[in-house]
A and B are shown apart, each in its own frame.
Chain A
Amino acid sequence: MKRAGFLALAVVFAAAISVGLSGCGNSSSGGLPPSSGGGGGGGTGGSGGNVTPIAVEQGPGGTSFVNTPFVTVRVCVPGSTTQCQNVKDVLLDTGSYGLRLLSSQVGISLPETTDGSGNTLAECTQFEGSYVWGSVATADVYMGGANNTGEVATSVPIQLIGSSSIPAAPSSCTSSGLPANDTVATLGANGILGVGLFVHDCGAACAPSSTSPPNPQPYYLCSSSSCTQTPLAESNQVQNPVALFANDNNGVVVKMNSVSDSGAATATGSLIFGIGTESNNGLGSATVLTVNGFGDFSTTYNGVTYSDPTSGTSTNAGSFFDTGSNGLFILDATTLGNGISDCPTGGTSVGPSYYCPANPVSLTAINVGANSATVSAPFTIANANTLLGVSTSFAFDNLGGAFGSGTEAFDWGLPFFFGRTIYFAINGGNAPQGGGPYYAY
């Protein structure tokens, strides 16, 4: 097996995925020129070049998906300002790193990455309850500003989920047992924009120099008939496009407006690029919570601290802020107490993945950074069957469920973001107060 890290990975122009450009509302074959100078929101002084709107609403996946924050991402064939497409309804995910688009929703020919032998680079990407399989391609990625051209990252490795140019996912990929969310119907979005704390989706562990690659390895080289796991240099890994912006590249700010406690049809917010780089993204009085090697911090609830010691010998989970989680997935009903219970099974109930207290319960936890900084985290859990019983509502600030009954941690999902401004400083970036990785709010 050839090692990709020793090869000059090349790009080839794959056959266009057959989505009619003219018939697709989210495409624009005419293309918009990049902002003058070729990128960056620098100097815009907060006029909006570094801001892209977030919409929480019914998405392309229908009514099954709630609390999904959507953004529009503009992708172009590298170097081109005409072979471009605005892809709307991309899931904003602070729990992952890198841009992944459903190939069925991409109507331009983004060049797929190959090695010197013509093998196509592919990735098996895991999420907590699903996986996606697809090729790696490169694109110029534009976001922000009036025309989605406020910021640009050039030649970004992205994933084309469900690409038809590679064989089906191999058994080493599917043996997580998780389902593939590789269609609009199963993903509930046209893609995933991962803008969390890390630059690379795997990191040094996947590099050719690693003596202990993850098992299974996520990257593959595929011939026309089979795929083989491969190490991959970080520079070729799918990565957080924000880190590749010319400016405003040290992190993002997620600022969400409040919603009614009874739920709302829609909610809005802003994804702001950079921290402390413009007049609109200063840290202000936010408390910085630094993290361990997994990107997690600790949370104290009812006098008990739930943490992930960095010894590497613990399976205890850690806490994180994740716009890609649609609820407050925290501890378990027994540990939370105060009348919180799992939703019942059967009938029209949403089932035990969500909490169903008889009445809304307001509680407070304390988030604790690796730097020992603390910040209060008040939250409310309402009855999920009541909330989700209103089929026209898609935004909830009090939807919750269990993280797990054995791995006790706090997955602060989208409900926690409403009415708050939360900062995500990227690992290695020059964010204020010592640089990333950290969260702040």
Chain B
Amino acid sequence: MPRKERGNWPLGVPGSRWLGVPLALALTAAPAWAVLGQQVQSVLADRARVAGRLRQIRATGYTIQQISSGQPGRGTVIREYVSPAGMVFGVSWHGPQIPNLRALLGAYYSRFQQAAAQPRRVRGPLRIQSGDLVVESAGHMRAFYGRAYVTKLIPRNLSAAVVR
């Protein structure tokens, strides 16, 4: 996957509405619990919540807002995949704990929770497909991996494989 990395904050996402918003204002004004399926401002709320380091990674046709916290190589990395229109169409995580998915999945959380509660015959990775929502959770204690995306929100020229 071709990817160009840019520097640390402050960042600008072409076409997004928070381009010129001062950080302090954005942190207080952004919705507290939101991400998947919402505008990119919600990333700022996430960054504040996890006290993480924010980095923007630009790729062809989308942007990754990456929030890292903890010790490199042992800490948590959360990635939020943003369309050119500023919509978060996917999220992924890797770290010692599964993050607060109520916050990351936003309006899609309850659908995920209902699907995850169904009895399973697998003792292993969790794979949920509920309509246009896909959620995967795998790994082991102190090393969890996962991702979630909404198929209808993925920009037309991209595949779900970019969310990782």
- Interface size of A by Cβ–Cβ distance < 8 Å? 73
Give the bracket for the number of chain B residues in contact with chain A. Answer: 35 or more
Contact A353-B70, Cβ < 8 Å, known A177-B105, A202-B96, A317-B145: no
Picked from A215, A320, A329, A403, the residue with its CB within 8 Å of the CB of B99 is A215
B124 touches A406 (CB 8 A): no
Q: Mark the stretch among A3-11, A13-21, A26-34, A122-130 that contacts chain B.
A: A122-130
Residues of B within 8 A of A388 (CB): 121
With both beta carbons as reference points, the residue of chain B lying nearest to A95 in the complex is identified as: B140
Within 8 A of B (CB), among A114-146: 125-129
B96 touches A317 (CB 8 A): no
Contact A64-B69, Cβ < 8 Å, known A315-B93, A317-B94: no
B74 touches A205 (CB 8 A): yes
B140 touches A129 (CB 8 A): no
B97 touches A216 (CB 8 A): yes
B68 touches A404 (CB 8 A): no
Residues of B within 8 A of A194 (CB): 141
B144 touches A128 (CB 8 A): yes
Picked from B77, B117, B138, the residue with its CB within 8 Å of the CB of A179 is B117
A179 touches B116 (CB 8 A): yes
Is B75 engaged at the interface, CB distance under 8 Å to the other chain? yes
A314 touches B143 (CB 8 A): no
Q: Mark the stretch among A41-49, A153-161, A291-299, A373-381 that contacts chain B.
A: A291-299
A212 touches B123 (CB 8 A): no
Picked from B95, B101, B141, B143, the residue with its CB within 8 Å of the CB of A175 is B101
A212 to B55, CA, bound (A): 18
Is B109 engaged at the interface, CB distance under 8 Å to the other chain? yes
Within 8 A of A (CB), among B73-109: 73-77, 79, 92-103, 105, 109
A404 touches B144 (CB 8 A): no
Is A324 engaged at the interface, CB distance under 8 Å to the other chain? yes
B140 touches A326 (CB 8 A): no
Is B119 engaged at the interface, CB distance under 8 Å to the other chain? yes
B140 touches A401 (CB 8 A): no
A293 to B76, CA, bound (A): 12
A404 touches B127 (CB 8 A): yes
On A, residues with C-beta under 8 Å from B are 64-68, 95-97, 125-129, 171-172, 175-179, 186, 188, 194, 196, 198, 201-203, 205, 212, 214-216, 218, 292-296, 308, 310-318, 320, 322, 324-327, 329, 350-354, 388, 401-409, 411, 413
Give the top 10 A-B pairs by smallest Cβ distance, nearest first.
Answer: A312-B72, A294-B143, A95-B140, A129-B126, A175-B102, A96-B141, A315-B94, A404-B136, A310-B73, A212-B70
On B, residues with C-beta under 8 Å from A are 49-51, 55, 66, 68-77, 79, 92-103, 105, 109, 112-113, 116-117, 119-127, 129, 136-147, 160-161, 163-164
Q: A214-B96, A407-B136 are in contact. List 7 more A-B contacts (CB 8 A).
A: A95-B140, A129-B137, A175-B100, A215-B69, A315-B94, A329-B125, A405-B160
